[in-house]
Structure 1
């Protein structure tokens, strides 16, 4: 076994020595980028297919009776996959720094594929009750665990195969896979909804996108199985220079810990832009502005296609002028533009709703108002506030001394308790639009506004892989970069839709929750400008 491993290391080192000619990359570099990118694409597709179907999962896997609570629970379950990612980062990061990059991210893709197919065959709440909810959460946790190891492994592997002068450009190909994975998930859902009736899709059609990932899994495992180990790791292993305890070295030595903290800050800024542009914008257009989900998916898909080459451009640009200032500019622009972008979406997608919001015609007065998200009985106040937010209706809240009191004033009408039909009827009577009017929707402007945060994401995400890899020494690189990236980008980005929606419900303002990504992006800019170093051109073998 030792002889075989040594030969593999020598073979990897021989391939690593074939440098690209001035005109392009070597065949080995193309193979590394293709294999890593396809596998990453498959993993992101698996992870995002849930996001594309989140509006359905509330009814499929959570207790009936409160649509807003079920939707929030489905968002929280989506976010749970992000929350577990740091655990995967530690587990697979340690393995990657101990036994190698190649074998570790081969395991991650197998785990992701199995979990995704599992969601596709999972019985619903109607069939097996709360067990369906528990199993869905467990499978989402497995997906997050796998993705926690995949990102660090893929960027480390590609970067350690790349020449220093092209590292940003080569690794930016991996960054496109997150966008392409989301795009592929939207495309599959769109095709199915084109050929199936809504009833068929809700009954069984939603399972197909999860099950077809089995084909992608087989292809990815086959391609990755033919890769060689990273030349940097192969040399370290041959000279017995690998870390004995990557976790301890990464997080107890100040010089390395300082870099970990700085990466967390930058990754949090990325997560704020990522969650806003890729996910919350879809939920906002569909759930708040009542634009048909098919239209939302189509516009997001076109925006992703337009933005994808920008990841490569900003990766290439970071090889010329550096990584830091491109990423910091993205955080600043996001902090300045997120609120105007979403108010602009309301203006151009549903101007009648914007006009109704300005009237301030809705007031809620109640006593018992506490958030209960996972199917427990809720008060009338909770139901009123959740229902109004779900309809895209802002309101003012006046606390009442009587816990039993719950009333909503809409225009000149005052309604006691929670009566869904009465509330909706009063809103329509007061001028609330039940759905976005296609004739009044300015589709080109909606598209441009959707594109803005996605372009900011390309600015920060394109150079990010090279920046992360260059920030840490080779012996603990996989572990050191994986944990802060997933804590920052995963936790902030993954839970963003849930946090923003919950803040909106609590405040009565459909834009209030957007201060969450604004503040995070702003802090990332300030801290990054002062403390984050420029890493372009650093030697990865040290």
Structure 2
């Protein structure tokens, strides 16, 4: 790659990553504030019921992601990757800023919850077109060398979105009283997204279409409904399933276990102070960054398949005992007040970050490499968002509900454990190696 090509790719990478960061920041700020939204929008005499309602609203946004993926993914195969990016970023920004101005249940009653769910649906639709499509866009610009390393940076945008929103909430809690935070402080992260939206829109307007799509356009290879053709082709259909089950679903399960559910678990079941949990979440996210880049680089050296399978096996073996250990350490800390137990909790969170990094590090490249160019955007985007929406997005709700049903604060963790184990077996048997695939074919 020449200096000119390197500069061009860096420009594309920065623009794509910033836009994806905004999508994740907008989408995951809701998760960061899930515990706050319960009493504000779903008041109940039972705190568990309010929490479940809040998590269900978060899940609703994930469930509709496949609809956005089906529409915007197919549109991306027909009109190009760039125009779709401009549409999705605008929709996400509008929905997120609007959440910051919503009246609460105390103001307008049940309509507050209805409006919140409606905006969450709009967030989900736009995220469906962005997350997955951005992976295709960046990978098609990356060329055929070191794709795992160069595209792994996109996977940092989800954790970075969590990190920024968590830091904001931590600072707001530090400088505002509880009454001020409950009254208006929780709205600030949503207001800030307006500024981020303006920056992202300006940056994305300078993006160029991918060379792969431009080549397809010259050949006249576009079709009216490539999404339908994907399901007619047995090989593409098989690869869509493998991406859905072994890579994207498993990555989403690990992501929401490590980056979303751990904070909810430590604040509710383990009853650690919110400020301490926010600090631990920041630490775990920072640890994830170098691990993810290393996993992307490693997949260029030894292949995508062994790296992903290693993450699945490690995740299946460690998730359940990790949360039992977190529960035990939290209890010991609350009883003794010794900071050494907090350090040990941080070590457990570091260990949880490793399987996540091994799966998501090569994921961006895999999304594109599994499919031929003419069907890539629709096939990859739909499979990825089905997984992230229906499997990963509902994980906090399902795990919390199973915990409450069983009366055991960690019983629900058997769900991700079994899923990851099955994903590892299927990946070992059927997932193809893709690191040397030519993206122009």
Q: Which among 228, 236, 259 is matched to residue 256 of structure 1?
A: 236
Structure with a larger share of its residues in helix? 2
- Distance apart, 1:149 and its partner CA: 0.7
Aligned match of 2:130: 150
Determine if contact 1:264/1:487 at 8 Å carries over to the other structure: yes
The CA distance in 1 between the partners of 2:387 and 2:203, in whole Å, is 30
Q: Which among 279, 295, 301 is matched to residue 260 of structure 2?
A: 279
The answer to whether the aligner puts 1:494 opposite 2:397 as a matched pair is no
The answer to whether the aligner puts 1:343 opposite 2:343 as a matched pair is no
1:304-328 CA deviation, whole Å, 9 max, x = no partner?
Answer: 1122122111111111111011011
Aligned match of 2:436: 537
Q: Which runs of 5+ in 2 are unaligned?
A: none
Aligned match of 2:50: 70
- Distance apart, 1:108 and its partner CA: 0.7
Aligned match of 2:2: 20
Structure 1-normalised TM-score? 0.79
> Which aligned pairs between 1:330-479 and structure 2 lie closer than 5 A?
330-351=311-332, 437-439=336-338, 442-479=341-378
Please give the secondary structure, in 1, of the residue aligned with 2:220: coil
Aligned match of 1:316: 297
Aligned match of 2:204: 224
Q: Which among 240, 251, 271 is matched to residue 270 of structure 1?
A: 251
Q: Which runs of 5+ in 1 are unaligned?
A: 1-18, 353-434
Q: Which among 212, 224, 232 is matched to residue 244 of structure 1?
A: 224
Determine if contact 2:369/2:439 at 8 Å carries over to the other structure: yes
1:33-52 CA deviation, whole Å, 9 max, x = no partner?
Answer: 00000111111011111111
- Distance apart, 1:437 and its partner CA: 5.0
- Distance apart, 1:26 and its partner CA: 1.3
Aligned match of 1:59: 39
Aligned match of 1:292: 273
1:233-279 CA deviation, whole Å, 9 max, x = no partner?
Answer: 01111221112211111112111101111111122211221111111
Aligned match of 2:94: 114
Determine if contact 1:106/1:221 at 8 Å carries over to the other structure: yes
Aligned match of 2:113: 133
The CA distance in 2 between the partners of 1:496 and 1:317, in whole Å, is 29
Aligned match of 1:197: 177
- Distance apart, 1:159 and its partner CA: 0.7
Determine if contact 1:49/1:185 at 8 Å carries over to the other structure: yes
Determine if contact 1:171/1:315 at 8 Å carries over to the other structure: yes
The CA distance in 1 between the partners of 2:54 and 2:262, in whole Å, is 16
| Higher radius of gyration, 1 or 2 | 1
The CA distance in 2 between the partners of 1:338 and 1:313, in whole Å, is 21
Determine if contact 2:155/2:361 at 8 Å carries over to the other structure: yes
1:500-531 CA deviation, whole Å, 9 max, x = no partner?
Answer: 11111111111110000001110100111001
Aligned match of 1:328: 309
- Distance apart, 1:469 and its partner CA: 0.3
Determine if contact 1:83/1:494 at 8 Å carries over to the other structure: yes
1:423-475 CA deviation, whole Å, 9 max, x = no partner?
Answer: xxxxxxxxxxxx66533760111001112222211110010010110000111
Determine if contact 2:332/2:341 at 8 Å carries over to the other structure: no
Q: Which among 35, 38, 44 is matched to residue 15 of structure 2?
A: 35
Determine if contact 1:268/1:492 at 8 Å carries over to the other structure: yes
The CA distance in 1 between the partners of 2:104 and 2:302, in whole Å, is 52
Structure 2-normalised TM-score? 0.97
The CA distance in 2 between the partners of 1:437 and 1:107, in whole Å, is 53
Q: Which among 416, 421, 439 is matched to residue 522 of structure 1?
A: 421
The answer to whether the aligner puts 1:484 opposite 2:403 as a matched pair is no
- Distance apart, 1:490 and its partner CA: 2.5
The CA distance in 1 between the partners of 2:354 and 2:289, in whole Å, is 9
The CA distance in 1 between the partners of 2:382 and 2:337, in whole Å, is 45
1:346-391 CA deviation, whole Å, 9 max, x = no partner?
Answer: 2212138xxxxxxxxxxxxxxxxxxxxxxxxxxxxxxxxxxxxxxx
The CA distance in 2 between the partners of 1:101 and 1:295, in whole Å, is 41
Determine if contact 1:290/1:436 at 8 Å carries over to the other structure: no
Determine if contact 1:348/1:441 at 8 Å carries over to the other structure: no
The CA distance in 2 between the partners of 1:25 and 1:517, in whole Å, is 42
The CA distance in 2 between the partners of 1:31 and 1:437, in whole Å, is 51
Determine if contact 2:133/2:380 at 8 Å carries over to the other structure: no
The answer to whether the aligner puts 1:48 opposite 2:36 as a matched pair is no
Aligned residues: CA RMSD: 1.4
Determine if contact 1:122/1:136 at 8 Å carries over to the other structure: yes
Please give the secondary structure, in 1, of the residue aligned with 2:168: helix
- Distance apart, 1:25 and its partner CA: 6.0
Determine if contact 2:312/2:423 at 8 Å carries over to the other structure: yes
- Distance apart, 1:152 and its partner CA: 2.1
Please give the secondary structure, in 2, of the residue aligned with 1:122: coil
The CA distance in 1 between the partners of 2:336 and 2:127, in whole Å, is 40
The CA distance in 2 between the partners of 1:485 and 1:262, in whole Å, is 10
Aligned match of 2:288: 307
